[in-house]
Amino acid sequence: MTRPTTRIISRRAALGTAIAAGAVLLPPLHGLAQAAAVFAPEDFGARGDGRSNDTAAFARMAQAVNRAGGGRIVLRRTVYLVGEQRPGLQLDPFAFAPQPILRLSQCAKDVSIEGNGATLRCAPGLRYGTFDRASGRAVELPMPNTRPGSLASPYDYMILIEGCRGSVSIADLELDGNVGALRIGGPWGDVGRQIACDGLFLRDNRGDELVRNLRTHHHARDGLMLAGPAILPPGTRRLFTGIRSEWNGRQGCSLIGGRNYLFADSRFAHTGRVAVSTPPAAGFDIEAESAPIRNLSFSRCTFEDNSGCGLVADSGDTADVRFADCRFVGTTNWSIWPNKPGFRFDRCEIVGACVRFFGSPDPLKATRFYDCRFTDAPARSANRKVYLNGPMADLSDSRNILFARCRFDAVAGAQLPWSTAAIFENCTMRQTGAKPAYPRGTFRGTNRIDGAVDIAASRVSGRLVINDRVIPPRG
148 with 284, same domain: the answer is yes
388 with 290, same domain: the answer is no
From the CA atom positions of the chain, what is the Rg in Å? 24
263 with 365, same domain: the answer is no
Each residue's pLDDT, cut to its tens digit, for the chain (475 residues) gives: 333 322 222 333 223 333 333 444 444 444 444 468 999 999 999 999 999 999 999 999 999 999 999 999 999 999 999 999 999 887 789 999 999 999 999 999 999 999 999 999 999 999 999 999 999 999 999 999 999 999 999 999 999 999 999 999 999 999 999 999 999 999 999 999 999 999 999 999 999 999 999 999 999 999 999 999 999 999 999 999 999 999 999 999 999 999 999 999 999 999 999 999 999 999 999 999 999 999 999 999 999 999 999 999 999 999 999 999 999 999 999 999 999 999 999 999 999 999 999 999 999 999 999 999 999 999 999 999 999 999 999 999 999 999 999 999 999 999 999 999 999 999 999 999 999 999 999 999 999 999 999 999 999 999 999 999 999 999 8
49 with 145, same domain: the answer is yes
Peptide bond before residue 233 is cis, with ω within 30 degrees of 0 = no
Let me know if residue 317 belongs to a domain: no
DSSP state at residue 40: -
Separation of CA 103 from chain center: 22
Let me know if residue 67 belongs to a domain: yes
Nearest to 258 by CA among 282, 227, 283, 285: 227
402 with 261, same domain: the answer is no
Where helices occur in 329-422 by DSSP H, the ranges are: none
**Quick one: pLDDT at residue 133?**
93
142 with 290, same domain: the answer is yes
Query: What pTM did the predictor assign?
Result: 0.92
CB atoms within 10 A of CB 89: 9
The three-class DSSP label of residue 475 is coil
Domain housing 263: 10-21+29-303
83 with 194, same domain: the answer is yes
What is the CB-side half-sphere exposure of residue 237 using CA atoms within 13 A? 17
Let me know if residue 318 belongs to a domain: no
Dihedral angle sign, alpha carbons of residues 326, 194, 63, 291: positive
144 with 191, same domain: the answer is yes
| Cα–Cα distance, 354 to 391 (Å, whole number) | 8
**Quick one: pLDDT at residue 35?**
62
101 with 206, same domain: the answer is yes
Let me know if residue 359 belongs to a domain: yes
Residue 233 near residue 9 (C-beta atoms within 8 A) = no
Q: How many domains does the chain have?
A: 2
The three-class DSSP label of residue 345 is strand
Nearest to 220 by CA among 256, 183, 191: 183
The secondary element (H helix, E strand) that includes residue 103 is strand 102-105
Nearest to 247 by CA among 285, 287, 203, 216: 216
363 with 280, same domain: the answer is no
CB atoms within 10 A of CB 469: 8
Let me know if residue 170 belongs to a domain: yes
455 with 409, same domain: the answer is yes
Let me know if residue 176 belongs to a domain: yes
Cα dist. 117→91, 171, 268, 409 in Å?
41, 9, 20, 42
Let me know if residue 3 belongs to a domain: no
Q: Point out the domain boundary residue: 243, 271, 303.
A: 303
DSSP state at residue 358: P
**Quick one: pLDDT at residue 88?**
85
281 with 392, same domain: the answer is no
Let me know if residue 1 belongs to a domain: no
Residue type, 404: A
